[in-house]
Amino acid sequence: MKRSADRSVLGYWSEKEVRLEAAHLLDQVDAVLREDSKQVTSFLSFAMRDWAEAILRKEQLAFLAEGGFPDAERVRIIIGPRGASLSPQDANLEILRIRPLDPRAQLEHRQILGSLIGLGFRRDVLGDIRVGQDGQYLAISAEVALFLINQWRLAGKEKVEVSICPETPDIQPDLGEQKRVTVSSSRLDALLAHAFGVSRASAQEWIVQGKVRREGLAVSKADIKLQPGETISCRGYGRIKLLECISTRKERIAWQIVLYKSQRR
C-alpha cells in the first residue's frame, strides 16, 4: 500500500486560505509518493517554503527550489521520488521584461504587483520582481506568460511593453543601506537583533529555526562571535554585510554594516 503524508501537520497553519494552500501542497506530495511522478508547486512564501521543505526531508523525497533569479525569494519547488534527478527547467518558469513606453518613466515594484493583482492574478503564480538595466523583470509561471504578453498594458498609470526575456536578465545589484549599530558584544543574536530592529529573542528563534546563515552555511548557535568581512543572511528578512567594528568608551562595540532588506512577499 502506497503511503501518504501526515495531514496533522496542517495544524501548523491557522488562517483558512493558507491552510488550503498547504493542503494542496500535501496533495502534491501524496501524488509523488503514490505515483512516483514529479510535481511542481506554486510560488511559495518563505514560511510555506520552510514548512514544505521540512516535510519533504521527512518523506525523503527529492526536491529542488527554483525562482528564476539567483537567490530568489519566492520559489517553486520541484518534487520527485527519492533519488530522482531534477532540473531547474522542470519548474516551468518564464522571465518577463516590463518596460514603460515613456522612456522618462520609472516603474516601481508596487505598481507592477498592484496591476497584476488587479488583473485577477493570485500571488502564488507570481515570483520575484527585480530591477534590471533595461526595465523590470518578473518571474512567472510559464502557463500564464502568453496571456500577460498579450493583455497586460498598464502598470499603475504607466503604459507598458511586456516581452519574454530570452537571456539571463542583467539585474541591478542591491546597494543596501549603510548603518552603524552599537552592541554589547559581537554575538550573532545581538547583531541580528540590532540590524533588523527585532528583539534578541526573535533573533534567537530565527537561528533555532535554521533561517540564519553565515557565509552561506547554516548556523545553530546564537553566541557565535562575528568578524569584519562576513555576510550574515536571514531567510525572509535579508542579509547584512559586516564592514568594520570599533570599541566605544562605554565598553560597547560599534559596527558599521550594510543592510540588504528582503521583499519578503
44 contacts 67 by C-beta, under 8 angstroms:
no
**What stretches in the chain show pLDDT beneath 70?**
1-2, 173-175, 263-265
Read off the pLDDT of residues 149-199 as tens digits, 9 standing for 90 and up.
Answer: 999 999 989 999 999 998 878 887 666 789 999 999 999 999 999 999 999
- Look at residue 265 in the predicted model and tell me its pLDDT: 41
Q: How far apart are CA 205 and CA 202, in angstroms?
A: 5
Q: How far apart are CA 142 and CA 19, in angstroms?
A: 25
> Domains in the chain, please, with CATH?
7-90 (3.30.1370.160), 93-164 (3.30.70.330), 177-261 (3.10.290.10)
- Look at residue 263 in the predicted model and tell me its pLDDT: 55
Bridge partners of residue 155, in order along the sequence: 158
Beta strand 217-218 with 177-183 is: unpaired
- Total-model pTM: 0.72
- Look at residue 264 in the predicted model and tell me its pLDDT: 45
Cell of 80: 520527485
- Look at residue 163 in the predicted model and tell me its pLDDT: 95
